[in-house]
Amino acid sequence: MNDPQRIPITRDADIVMARQAGRALAAQLGFKGSDLALIATAISEIARNIVVYAQRGEIDLSVAEEGDRRGIAVVGRDQGPGIPNVEQAMRDGFSTGGSLGLGLPGARRLMDDFEIESQVGIGTIVRMRKWIPR
């Protein structure tokens, strides 16, 4: 596997940087227009969650490979407060941060694979992948 490209997320300008880096990697892998917008938007949402809820964390971008499929893997990681009720956080419109509450559930809709692990007091990891259409 290739080494992931790591983007530290500590302020709102890093959200823009992460989504631009993700878009660039996706374009390099051969994703087309609407998929590029979906990937960049999903990265924007999970990066913002890091800034708003955990203040600091990171986004790792890498090439995903599984069988003969290729795609992009995005991992968002923070050591923030964690999410007490992940199921609730994955519901549309649920937010404790005064937002539209579409960040996590929205990102799940934009990507092909989406996993979230969170432990209160330890942090949150979001793993997402999108595959290049064949």
Partner 1 sequence: MSVPILRHGNVLVASIQVAQTDDELLQLSDRLTDMIGKTRARGVVIDVTALDVLDSFATRTLRGIAYGSRLRGARTVVVGIQPDVAFAMVQLGLDLGAVSTALDLDDAVAELDRPAKEAGSR
For 47, the 3-state DSSP assignment is helix
Q: Does residue 125 interact with partner 1 by CB under 8 A?
A: no
| Least distance (Å) between residue 71 CB and partner 1 | 17
Residues 52, 39: Cα–Cα separation, whole Å = 20
Residues 6+ apart with CB under 8 A from 114: 107, 108, 126, 127, 128
If one asks whether residue 21 binds partner 1 (CB under 8 A), the answer comes out as no
Dist CA 76 CA 31 (whole Å): 21
Among 88, 92, 96, 133, binds partner 1 (CB under 8 A): 92
Q: Is 3 in the site for partner 1 (CB under 8 A)?
A: no
Q: Which amino acid is at 7?
A: I
Binding mask 51-90 for partner 1 (x = CB under 8 A): ----------------------------------------
Task: Give the nearer residue to partner 1 in terms of CB position, either 38 or 83.
Answer: 38
Sign (positive or negative) of CA dihedral 42, 26, 18, 59: positive
Token reading at 78: 């923070």
Strands 113-119 and 69-78 come out as: unpaired
Residue 19 within binding range of partner 1, rule CB under 8 A: yes
> How far is the C-alpha of 38 from the C-alpha of 34, rounded, in Å?
6
**Which residue in the set 2, 8, 10, 12 belongs to the binding site for partner 1 (CB under 8 A)?**
12
Q: Where does this chain bind partner 1 (CB under 8 A)?
A: 12-13, 15-16, 19-20, 23, 33-34, 36-38, 40-41, 44-45, 48, 92, 99-100, 102-103, 105-107, 109-110
